[in-house]
Amino acid sequence: MEKKTNTWKLKEIILVAMTCIVFGVVYLAAVYLASFIASALTPFGLSPLGNELVFGVWFMAATLSGYILQKPSAAIVSEVIASVIEVLLGNWFGPMVIVAGIIQGAGAEIVFAANKYRKFDGMVMYFASAGACVTSFLWSFVRSGYGKFSIPFLVMLFVIRLISSLVFSGFICKMTGDGLARMGLLKGYELGRSHE
């Protein structure tokens, strides 16, 4: 069995690059989807829910890369690069998206680090997703003026974002990683080795 190291190999860098390109596109598409949902909910006074329903999509690069590589910085590096690509593709929020990427990636990274990059099961993936949810929600509170909302509305926003996070960056990313590993596409990566 190959010894686990913290050094990044070329194939791991390439995997992260490809993952980030894919998610950069997905992230931008989610921006348009969230905008559409928010517009549809505006007549009901619920436009902030537009973002919350899809927010978990914006953590997927962090959790999937972290799950596949299982080494320090994979989650935060992937999230930041995907955010940069999203900005370069035309996200109208500009460079602040990169700051959000750092904060979101850090939320997932903290959970992986707390487990010393040794335990990568469904529960850890859900906690990593929740970590990204919490840090991103704190950022929304500061950056997007969430402090103006009532406590019950804030709780509703958080619960919806948390569910979105658990579904997209937790469940879907774990299933995607496991599926790729079972198909033999992750041989030579830590997740692939754990499925051998």
* Contacts by 85-90, CB closer than 8 A, 24 or more apart: 85/20, 85/21, 85/23, 85/24, 85/25, 85/27, 86/24, 86/27, 86/28, 86/31, 88/24, 89/24, 89/25, 89/28, 90/28
Taking CA atoms, 41 is separated from 27, 50, 91, in Å, by: 21, 7, 22
Please give the model's pTM, rounded to 2 decimal places. Answer: 0.92
Please tell me the predicted confidence (pLDDT) of residue 131.
98
Please tell me the predicted confidence (pLDDT) of residue 20.
96
Q: Which of 2, 1, 62 has the alpha carbon at shortest distance from 27?
A: 62
Please tell me the predicted confidence (pLDDT) of residue 5.
64
Residue 104: both structure tokens together = 């979101």
Quick one: how many helices (H) and strands (E) in the chain?
9, 0
Please tell me the predicted confidence (pLDDT) of residue 2.
47
Q: Which residues of the chain have pLDDT under 70?
A: 1-5
Please tell me the predicted confidence (pLDDT) of residue 7.
86
Please tell me the predicted confidence (pLDDT) of residue 1.
42
Angle at 96 between CA 92 and CA 98, to 5 degrees: 105
Angle at 129 between CA 123 and CA 130, to 5 degrees: 90
- Contact assessment for residue 132 and residue 63, using Cβ atoms and an 8 Å cutoff: yes
- Contact assessment for residue 113 and residue 71, using Cβ atoms and an 8 Å cutoff: no
Q: What is the DSSP string of 119-141?
A: --SHHHHHHHHHHHHHHHHHHHH
Please tell me the predicted confidence (pLDDT) of residue 194.
85
CB atoms under 10 Å from CB of 60, counted, come to 28
